[in-house]
A = this chain, B = another copy of it.
Amino acid sequence: MTDVFSIPVRIYYEDTDTGGVVYYANYLRFMERARTELLRSRGLEQDVLRDECGVLFAVRRAEVDYLKPAKLDDELKVTAEIRRLGGASINFYQEVRLGEDVLCKGNIRIACIHDEALAPMAVPKRVTELLQPVVRRAPDGGEQ
């Protein structure tokens, strides 16, 4: 099986807090960057999708476990794997790693919504076709 998709994320002052570590909400920013780049690597640009299909990707649920803190100047690796591609939602599993350490992991459920009605809509067919090849079941065969 191919490697898990990931992007590098460098930690700057903007990401840290006075506790000396990365502020907890910021890991969600990093995870979204990785999801966006996974889509882009499959030929899906969110601004184009919005213009052509009127679709926005909205987070419906986020479960995040914080295991170890990241710090200033760390160079992290943030992964993104699609675990399930549903009719109206997409489930991602993501990790934030420093070398071999997993600092943070998350299960993120995305729903497609219409950009004007802000109501749920089906995942556009083009999105499904381009993402289906990179769906990865969890090691235990489950969805997460």
| Interface residues, chain A, with chain B CB atoms under 8 Å away | 10, 12-14, 16-21, 23-26, 28-29, 32-33, 36, 45-47, 56, 58-66, 69, 71-73, 115, 118
Contact = CB atoms under 8 A, between A and B. Distances in A.
Q: How many copies does the complex hold?
A: 4
A59 B17 contact: no
B13 A19 contact: yes
Contact of A47 (B26, B60, B72, B118): B72
B59 A73 contact: no
23 contacts: A10-B33, A12-B32, A12-B36, A13-B17, A14-B23, A14-B25, A16-B18, A18-B18, A18-B19, A19-B56, A19-B58, A19-B115, A24-B58, A24-B59, A25-B26, A25-B29, A47-B71, A58-B66, A60-B65, A61-B64, A61-B66, A62-B62, A62-B63
